[in-house]
Every structure is written in structure tokens, then in C-alpha cells.
Amino acid sequence: MKVLVIGANGNTAMRIIRLLAKSKHDPVAMIRNPSHRAKFDKLGVPTVLADLEYPIDHAVQGCDAIIFAAGSGGKTGKDKTVLIDHIGAIRSIVAAQVHGVRRYIMLSSINNDINSQSRIAHYHRAKAHADNHLVESDLDYTIVCPGGLTDEKGTRLVSLSAELQGSGLTSRENLAAALVACLDRDNSVGKSFSLLDGDTPLADALRAL
């Protein structure tokens, strides 16, 4: 499949790109800044320039699947969070529907709630709105909700649960591996699950969804 990775320059997304580049799939990196092209050129991965604050139809056209791994980042304000994590995500979902991209995998977060009162409530609310829109769409979706992200080495030992509230840590490598693996797991379609570092081999955990 031709897989568009949205937010491709991010820490987790770069791990996704590297895994896809070694797989049977063909990744396309969606980036905002043309200066980032060089790192993808070295991996032999094509890029497309697009910004979630504007229409991205040209980036979505011709793709078979989308992995949404974009985020406004911790250094931006609430307005940017809404623009990227809420409105931008929904913009990508609508573009997928318009252009016949059936498979959509969302990198989300645990503890999302449209009525969140958490310390980062604006983030959890934005993500919840986007997740809800995806669930209500006609796309073949999977929503993966990690805990606090770390740069620890990925063991591919995880804990998956339908319970989307809680606490825990998730290595970016384990997360990237799970997102990519879902592309080939038909049983992950229509599922939302939390993903934390744990004791179960990733392949076994996904098989049991």
C-alpha cells in the first residue's frame, strides 16, 4: 500500500517512516518545511509538502492508507493545538473520504475526553473530537492511544487494552511498530485501544484484539 504519513518529521513519525521503508509498503512523508526533505531523500522516501492548517487534498490523492502522526507539539499554545490536533486531523479524515483512501490509522492518546479537566485538557479535548469524528466516519479506522511517550529502546513487549483511560509509558519505537503492524491486521479495523509498554509480544497482543 501507498501510505501517507502525516506529520512525518516528528519523533515518532520518523520511526514509522523507517519501518515502512523496510516493509512491503510504500511510505510518503507529508512535511510542512521543504528543508526537511533531505533526511527523507536519504531513506529513499518521497515527500509531499502540505500543511494541516490548509487543504491537503493533493497529498492524499493516490494513497491507499494514512497514518496520522501529527501533533502541535508541547511548545505551542491552545489555539495551535486546536488547529492541528482537532481541525487539522478532521481535515485529513474528510480528505481521505473524498479521495477514496479507506484505511486510516490515528495516533491518539490515552485519557482523551471532550469534557476533559486534565492539566492538558485542551489537548485531550482536541484529540477526543478528532477521534470521535473518525469513529463516526465510514473509514476503516484504527485508533492507537499511547501513554506518556519515551525514547527508550523498543522491546515490542506491550500491554493493549480497550480501556482508554489510565496511566503508563509507551516507547516511541513500540508505538511506531504497532501503528505500522496495524496496516496488515484486518482485525484492528474499527478498534480503539490503549498501548503501553508491557510484557506481551506485540504480534500476540494485536492478534488478540
Range 85-99 average pLDDT: 97
Q: Residue 72: its pLDDT value, please? A: 72
pLDDT confidence of residue 78: 83
Distance between CA atoms of 90 and 94, rounded to whole angstroms?
A: 6
| pLDDT classification of 181: cutoffs 50, 70, 90 | very high
pLDDT tens digit sequence for 112-161: 998 999 888 889 999 999 999 999 999 999 999 999 999 999 999 999 99
pLDDT of 128: 94
pLDDT in tens, 66-76: 999 998 765 56
**Could you tell me the pLDDT band of residue 48, with boundaries at 50, 70 and 90?**
very high
Burial 174-193 (b: 16+ CB within 10 A, else e): bbbbbbbbbbeeeebbebbb
> Does pTM top 0.85 for this prediction?
yes
Section 186-204 average pLDDT: 98
- Domain boundaries defined on the chain: 2-146
pLDDT of residue 74: 53
Tell the burial category of 145 from Cβ atoms under 10 Å away from its Cβ (0-12, 13-18, 19+). buried
CATH tag, 2-146? 3.40.50.720
Neighbours of 49 (CB within 10 A): 14
Tell me which of 54, 104, 123, 141 is the catalytic residue: 123
pLDDT at 121: 87
| Average pLDDT over all residues of the chain | 95
Among this protein's residues, is 123 annotated catalytic? Answer: yes
